[in-house]
Structure 1
Amino acid sequence: MSPPAPPRDPFRSARLIYRAVIPADDSVFAAIDADRIGYINSNASNIKLPGPADAERFRKSVSEELLGAIICLPSTFPPPSTTGSNSSRTSTPGPAPPPIPIGQIHLKGSSQNHRHHRNTELGVDILPLYQGKGYGGEAIRWALDYAFRRAGLHKVRIRAFEWNEGAVRLYERIGFKHEGRERESLWHEGRFWDGIEMGMVEREWWELQREEREKEGAPI
């Protein structure tokens, strides 16, 4: 009889680590706000230049949500090196450097009188240096697993601005369904644009898990 598989760390995905938000993360949120294109694409207050107070408020709001996490890349342990070719002594590596923050992800909490609806809204930001590598999609899929498998939620919503076509395509690939458009509600670059509302319910997510496991030949 083969030994049981080691328990899976619920706060890791294939390439990423997720940790709690701490006060020292104001610098992470300031870096997110400093991404001018990202800020324009995700904030309705995008005619304002954000400052340190905005980063602090952003950090506090994420830390108080149902789920608020810093998205990190793991740091590799430095390889040991010899002290000299004629010496049998080797230097042992010191403590591994901490994971590298690359963004944030959160699921909004509900007020006490709205929790029975079991739904939430997802928000995510990836720092510019790490964009285009699939980290945002991986983090969203991890948050969906958290929402449906661990937190017992029924629905996850996500929003996008019409001009942010890349985000809309990503959400579609992940499996979010279009649910509505708030027509001409956003002024941007000299014209009005729609706000796009998308969502996923638990049965859709479980069906996606079944399809993925079938492709892998593994039971769900």
Structure 2
Amino acid sequence: MANPFRSARLIYRAAEPTSEEDQACFLTIQTDAQAYQNANAAISTPQGKASAQQYLKEIAEESLLGVVICLPAPDSTSKPIPIGAIHLDQLKPALAHHRHADIGIDIVKAYQGQGYGSEAIRWALRWAFRIAGLHRVGIRAFAYNEGAVRLYGRLGFNREGVSREFLWFDGQWWDDVQFGMLAREWTAMQEEQVDVKQ
């Protein structure tokens, strides 16, 4: 059986709040102002160690799934290289029977645009539907993040709704775009890929 915490080019491991390596990775994520604005609706303020540690703690301790995305070690004497994080939020116990979660993802700027985000989202979807038995996975994008809006559609998410003029950013109002995928839709995509390969 294949390692469930690997995909074609990436390794997924537990986030460790006390790890200096993880603290440095999350600090890099949090202090990238553009990435922060693309992923966080909070008012834009400079981020530092405290917010990075809080985010790392949330990923490690408060998510249904929270992992650090890593590239394999370049040699046998090195450790895998952390390049981002992906998580599925956890429903409160009284709501868990609804079996859904939302994905959040961050890739360090130096590793963006290389398909790692797409690969990690595909891996998280597989984990959500095959391992966790979820029924629905959602993901959202702010309308000013046009690349994310296009990417989520290409990955097979259905555009489910728009909260119009939901976000105030850079002097104007922007929509919040919600996407979702059901387990049966994910399964159908996997079957189509098998048919194409045969």
Q: TM-score, normalised by structure 2?
A: 0.96
Q: Would you say how many aligned residue pairs link Structure 1 and Structure 2?
A: 194
Cα pair 1:177 1:198 within 8 Å, conserved: yes
Provide the secondary structure at the position in 1 that maps to 2:79.
Answer: coil
Provide the secondary structure at the position in 2 that maps to 1:142.
Answer: helix
Q: CA deviation at 1:46?
A: 4.1
**Structure 2 counterpart of 1:160:** 141
Q: CA deviation at 1:131?
A: 0.5
Runs of 4+ in structure 1 deviating by more than 4 angstroms, as ranges, are none
Which is greater in Rg? Answer: 1
**Structure 2 counterpart of 1:83:** none
**Structure 2 counterpart of 1:133:** 114
CA RMSD of aligned residues (A): 0.9
1:58-207 equivalences in 2 (<5 Å)? 58-64=55-61, 65-77=63-75, 95-207=76-188
Cα pair 1:63 1:69 within 8 Å, conserved: yes
Query: For the residues of structure 2 that align with 1:187 and 1:196, how far apart are their CA atoms?
Result: 14
Query: For the residues of structure 1 that align with 2:31 and 2:194, how far apart are their CA atoms?
Result: 40
**Structure 2 counterpart of 1:86:** none
Asked if residue 39 in structure 1 is aligned to residue 39 in structure 2, the reply is no
Asked if residue 22 in structure 1 is aligned to residue 16 in structure 2, the reply is yes
Match of 1:48 among 35, 45, 48: 45
Q: Residue 148 of structure 1 aligns to which amino acid in structure 2?
A: F
Query: For the residues of structure 1 that align with 2:46 and 2:57, how far apart are their CA atoms?
Result: 19
Query: For the residues of structure 1 that align with 2:100 and 2:150, how far apart are their CA atoms?
Result: 22
Residue range with higher mean Cα deviation, 22-31 or 198-207: 22-31
Q: Which digits, 9 at most, give the CA deviation of each residue in 1:167-190, with x for residues without a partner? A: 011100000001111111101111
Q: Which digits, 9 at most, give the CA deviation of each residue in 1:155-204, with x for residues without a partner? A: 00001100000001110000000111111110111110011111000000
Cα pair 1:39 1:46 within 8 Å, conserved: no
Q: Residue 140 of structure 1 aligns to which amino acid in structure 2?
A: I
Match of 2:189 among 189, 196, 208: 208
Query: For the residues of structure 2 that align with 1:27 and 1:111, how far apart are their CA atoms?
Result: 30
Q: Which digits, 9 at most, give the CA deviation of each residue in 1:124-163, with x for residues without a partner? A: 0000110010000000000000000111000000011000
Percent identity of paired positions between Structure 1 and Structure 2: 51
Cα pair 1:159 1:197 within 8 Å, conserved: yes
Provide the secondary structure at the position in 2 that maps to 1:66.
Answer: strand
Structure 2: stretches of 5+ with no match in the other structure: none
Q: Which digits, 9 at most, give the CA deviation of each residue in 1:14-66, with x for residues without a partner? A: 00000000021121111001111111111111421111110111001011210
Q: TM-score, normalised by structure 1?
A: 0.86
